[in-house]
Amino acid sequence: EVQLVESGGGLVQPGGSLRLSCAATGFTFKNYAMSWARQAPGKDLEWVSSISTGETTSYADSMKGRFTISRDNAKNTLHLQMNNLKPDDTAVYYCAKFRVRYLWLPSPTPDDLDSWGQGTQVTVSS
């Protein structure tokens, strides 16, 4: 059974940093591109970032230069380093795997992803 478990969320002041992690089990992690997405209260799910099996990365425009996605295939773990956080970054952050092994899409839609984690809350507030 595929499981994705996010952690690392919390309350941070504007301008602060957080590092999210996603522990993956139940599939061959190194063979799948992975993504982060987020959902703010009352808003649609928003794609944040993705990383390919070859560690090519892509980001939504509002996250470029502030967020860094990375993966540790030895530990089956996905990370999202978030710097210079803004109140608009407040959301539940989810990790997900690409539906198809080895597939890479720089801007995946939810239909391209599956096996979502339960999410971790990030709140940016003074």
- pLDDT digit string, tens, across residues 4-46: 999 999 999 999 999 999 999 999 999 999 999 999 999 999 9
Q: How high is the pLDDT of residue 37?
A: 97
Q: Is the pLDDT of residue 89 over 90?
A: yes
Contact 96, 113 (CB under 8 A): yes
Q: What's the average model confidence in pLDDT over 66-75?
A: 98
**Exposed/middle/buried for 67, CB within 10 Å: 0-12, 13-18, 19+?**
buried
Q: Which two three-digit tokens encode residue 64?
A: 């470029």
For the four alpha carbons of 25, 30, 31 and 35, in that order, the dihedral sign comes to positive
First to last CA, the chain: 40
Task: Say how far apart CA 123 and CA 115 lie, in whole Å.
Answer: 24
- pLDDT digit string, tens, across residues 51-65: 999 999 999 999 999
Task: Say how far apart CA 68 and CA 59 lie, in whole Å.
Answer: 8
